[in-house]
Amino acid sequence: MNKPAPRGTDAETIRAEILEKLAYSIGKDPAVAKRHDWLNATVLALRDRIIDRWMESTRRAYQTKSKRVYYLSLEFLIGRLMRDALRNLQLNDAFTKALQALNVDIDLIEALEPDAALGNGGLGRLAACFMESMASLDIPAYGYGIRYNHGLFRQKIIDGWQIELPENWLEHGNRWEFPRREAAYEIGFGGQVVPGLETGNKQQRRWKPGEKLLASACDTPMVGWRGKRVNTLRLWTARAVDPIRLDAFNSGDYGAALAESNKAEIITRVLYPADSTPAGQELRLRQEYFFTSASLQDLIRRHVQQYDEVRSLADKVAIQLNDTHPAIAVAELMRILVDNHALDWDEAWSITKDCIGYTNHTLLPEALESWPVHLFEHVLPRHMQIVYQINAKLIAEAQKRPGCTSEFLASVSLIDEHNGRRVRMGQLAFAGSHSINGVSALHTSLMKQSVFRDLNALYPGRINNKTNGITPRRWLLGVNPQLATLLTDSIGPAVLDDAANLVKATSFAKDAGFKARFSTIKRHNKAELSNLIAARMGLKVDPSAMFDVQVKRIHEYKRQLLNILETIALYNSMRAHPDRPWVPRVKIFAGKAAASYAQAKLIIKLANDVGAVVNNDPDIRDLLKVVFIPNYNVSLAEVIVPAADLSEQISTAGMEASGTGNMKFALNGAMTIGTLDGANIEIMEHVGRDNIVIFGMTTEEVEQKRREGHDPRAVIEASVDLKGVLDALASGVFSPDDANRYRPIIDSLYNGDWFMVAADFDAYAKAQREVDAIWRQTGDWTEKTILNTVNMGWFSSDRTIREYARDIWNVPVA
């Protein structure tokens, strides 16, 4: 096969190609081209260089008959791709110079690239980091997800309230994607199960769906470090088998004419449609089955095309379920193997388990997903039969266990009989996987003790830990290039290829010259964020103040409320004691609340109301500012993360599975204030107990308090500061137009305090004063933050993926 000649990487060749793309692909003369035209032309010129490597990577996987990894995730928060690809191909300087020769500023056109609205938070960003690391480690892999038209939502803040608007990231097309019309699969819903062909002395089942639609693929290349490999992110879009009923259209019934098309397209419109209604629940289930079925059909088609049979599937295929959303893969793979390929049940079950691994990301019951049996049976009748059959065999195994009780059987069953009969998707994923991993040491330990305690007893050895990681290419070299340069100047360029080399810079924590450059870089990054806040919020903040940051999904267990309440207490103290040497702080919040999560949306309103009061108090001046930056996404994180001084990782102990924001902030030289939760524990072990500020109850203490009875009213009454804060909230100090606005928050603390906000308040306030004391000793603060950066190499997603490859997927790593 003839290969195209390698494309030039010098600035002049690239300049000529950008002009060619501008003329012949965009149809614009340079004299009239706008910034978005230059962006599209640049992406197309860059894309050509990626395609050459992409095709070579694909050919190599076929030629070597490599085992492939298939990563199924409902979210892929990939952010902007142009800089990522330029960086990983070492083409950033050449493209910058080429555009400069055309009088185009690469920073200005890059800012026009939309963030791909394919995720919400840590789950999706982790999937994106993993895709980059798999390519960087030369592992043949596909990511499978959904091509959402509007993603989650675009957040706007109006009068302090979150307003959800459509995220129109595809409004002007997507130059990175390649539609694959040949990769289209029928997806069925509803209908009935009828007898099929007889094979041997058993009769096959045949599912006759009552409704069908098509899943069509769009591929995006995922570029690894130094272009070692380019893998594929394959996203599915839904369309009707018959897009329009012409008979209805011609009779004037236009709604009926397009009804099937609209019904199909709804599936890929929005990430996480609200499931507070029966229709919303059904849409969520249909969405999850849609992308899982399409992905399994696609990977089996690829395997059969190369090997002509399915019995070797587990030798050549590793399927990783990123959380519980794709758990239906267990039943769907069984259906395909048994019904479509006529394998007997036991052989199909062995192949299914050997292929599938399941990553659990949460211990929260609502995130483990369960579906009412009647809904599941209505939408997926054949899969309901398969789930019952899996469950029957599981129960039979459990009954052989010595001392088996009815309680044990109820605990391991795939059907929850106590809450209106529901299919437990986490249990299904566990039963059908050879590996079940947690994402931090604490989380994995808690999995064994709580949600999967009895399944772990029934199937010991399946649960293992794979602590999350982040790609240092984006989250150090990309977001903080000056810091990356300082590190390479100090310890050499090998740190760019292996983040484990960061530790070699440990001795520089006491080097005066290194510390000065480190501090200058941090100040520069803070000035950049200050400019962004001024431009977007109309608020001036002082880069010399401590930037105290909590940016993440808004949820009660993440305890943004604890941070806001302590901010009010600090504000009260500043007003009462203006003579004290207060450390100036800028409190920075960002994050989205689920559209139907009223309490989380009220917390956002509180943050904005507090900011409105504090930021306009002339007595406080620049001692304290409170900022809530709207529409948190990857691109915003890339500005905030390198500018943070203090990283707030303050979840209720035992409730955060891992966190990856904690890793990004520490890598970029922020001090962490946090609880002993998630990966905070492992971060503490690596950076040193003296270089992190830990407070609050442990997981065991939280469980004990809940078990023995927690009296939050007594705790509040005993805390002068917290009582004063809640009294101020109740009297309308921060809501003069509605004194009762925050009654739901106040009541939740006095009458339950499930997330231990009141219980941990005094310890948190004390820890914040400890932070103040360290900040005042500038040399000590800089040394400690340097020690955070240089000890974060272990948290590279390359390390995590190596562990998956070795322990779960059984694939070689470069």
- Give the Cα separation of 196 and 382 in Å (integer): 13
Is 453 known to be catalytic?
no
Collapsing DSSP to helix, strand or coil, 628 comes out as: strand
Q: Are strands 230-240 and 192-199 parallel, antiparallel or unpaired?
A: unpaired
Separation between Cα atoms, residue 571 and residue 112, nearest integer Å: 38
CB 236 within 8 A of CB 214: no
Strand 161-165 vs strand 178-189: parallel, antiparallel, or unpaired?
unpaired
Burial annotation 389-421 (CB, 10 A radius, 16+ → b, else e): ebbeebbeebeeeeeeeeebeebbbbbbeeeee
**Catalytic: which of 87, 434, 515, 553?**
553
Tokens (6 digits) for 791: 């000890």
**Whole-Å CA distances, 527 to 337, 524, 752:** 58, 5, 42
CA distance 3 to 351: 38
Place of tokens 């500018």: 643
Q: Which position among 53, 353, 552, 555 bears the catalytic label?
A: 552
CA distance 570 to 545: 15
Q: What is the Cα–Cα distance from 239 to 87, expressed in whole angstroms?
A: 36
Q: Which residues contact 575 (CB under 8 A, 6 or more apart)?
A: 617, 619, 620
Q: Is 42 helix (H, G, I), strand (E, B) or coil?
A: helix
| The one catalytic residue among 660, 675, 782, 800 | 660
Q: Position 809: which residue type?
A: W
Catalogue the E-assigned strands of 537-677.
546-551, 585-590, 624-628, 646-649, 671-674
Quote the longest CA-to-CA distance of the chain. 90
Number of other CB atoms surrounding residue 372 within 10 Å: 18
Residue corresponding to tokens 């090998």: 494
> Which residue in the list 558, 625, 686, 784 is annotated as catalytic?
558
Asked if 220 contacts 179 with a C-beta cutoff of 8 angstroms, the reply is no
466 is catalytic: no
φ/ψ of 222, rounded to 5, equals: -115, 110
Q: Considering only CA atoms, give the Rg of the chain.
A: 27
**Residue 606 CA, distance from chain mean position:** 25
* DSSP classification of residue 464: E
Active-site choice (53, 87, 125, 361)? 361
Active-site residue flag, 361:
yes
Give the side-chain half-sphere CA count within 13 A for 190.
6
Catalytic: 325?
A: no
Residues 6+ apart with CB under 8 A from 493: none
Given 68, 664, 741, 784, the catalytic residue: 664
Per DSSP bridges, beta strands 370-372 and 141-146 are unpaired
Contact present, 81 and 118 (Cβ < 8 Å): no
558 given a catalytic annotation: yes
CA distances from 193 to 211, 340, 416 (A): 13, 14, 24
The span from the CA of 632 to the CA of 536, in Å, is 12
228 annotated active-site: no
Structure tokens of 176? 């990175």
Neighbours of 707 (CB within 10 A): 8
Q: Which residues are catalytic?
A: 361, 552-553, 558, 660, 664
